[in-house]
A and B are shown apart, each in its own frame.
Chain A
Amino acid sequence: MMDVLYFAWVRERIGVPKERIETGAATVADLVEELKAREERYEVAFSDLSALRVAVDQELSDFDAPLDGAREVAFFPPMTGG
């Protein structure tokens, strides 16, 4: 089981801040494909990956990163701190 978190407009488009899913995805990109196949709201949220960032177990990561043993994956737009 894996926790998938969404922030900012990604959260708004998908409609939930967090969900627990069963997945066999090997990489972040595979997970994205799995989610997109679920429902249109995911397809919309993940339509342009260049507009998204990802963190695996609370560390910034890449879409080609492996998910081996990962417990938490978060998707969000580029950050606007400061």
Chain B
Amino acid sequence: MRVVVQDAPFDFGREAESFAKAQTNMGAVVTFTGIVRDSAKGDMAVMEIEHYPGMTQKALEKIASEAMERWELGDALVIHRYGRLHRDEMIMMVATAARHRVAAFEAAEFLMDYLKSRAPFWKKEIGADGADWVAAREEDDDALSRW
């Protein structure tokens, strides 16, 4: 299991490749990548992601450990960025490895659902006419109830 919190960009292709190649007897690897998109207003110049340095790593490790245990994963990877990002840049990725695909898909969704509303990150969209904090969506909180 590997959890990385960084401001620098990451190389999705290289991360996915080395994650997949490091596995033994795992029939399935699933990856997900989150990418910065424009604000609803359509004028976003930059997205600023704030986080809680002391807590972020621990919170992500706790979420990843729970996924490892629950789906008997061979491995899990979480990379999440913070700082100033532009549209179309990659914010984060997760990868899961399991013997069968259902476990790998489900564990990746679980990781994403928990990262959305239980990891201490806050997004701010900075546009031409000012800045707005991205509001949490009720659906994101509701999504946790299925696990």
Q: List chain A positions with a Cβ less than 8 A from chain B.
A: 5, 7-9, 55, 58-60, 72, 74, 76-82
Contact = CB atoms under 8 A, between A and B. Distances in A.
Interface in B107-145: 112, 115-124, 133-136, 141
Contacts of A82: 34, 91-92, 112, 115-116, 119, 121
B13 interface: no
Contacts of B141: 78
Contact of A81 (B54, B119, B133, B135): B119
Contacts, number: 69
Contacts of B66: none
B54 A77 contact: no
Interface of B: 34, 50, 52, 54-55, 58-59, 80, 91-92, 112, 115-124, 133-136, 141
A58 B55 contact: yes
B122 A79 contact: yes
Given A8-B133, A9-B133, A74 B122 contact: no
A79 B117 contact: yes
A79 B49 CA distance: 11
Given A8-B122, A58-B59, 17 more contacts: A7-B50, A7-B122, A9-B133, A58-B54, A76-B52, A77-B133, A77-B136, A79-B119, A79-B121, A80-B122, A80-B136, A81-B80, A81-B115, A82-B34, A82-B91, A82-B92, A82-B121
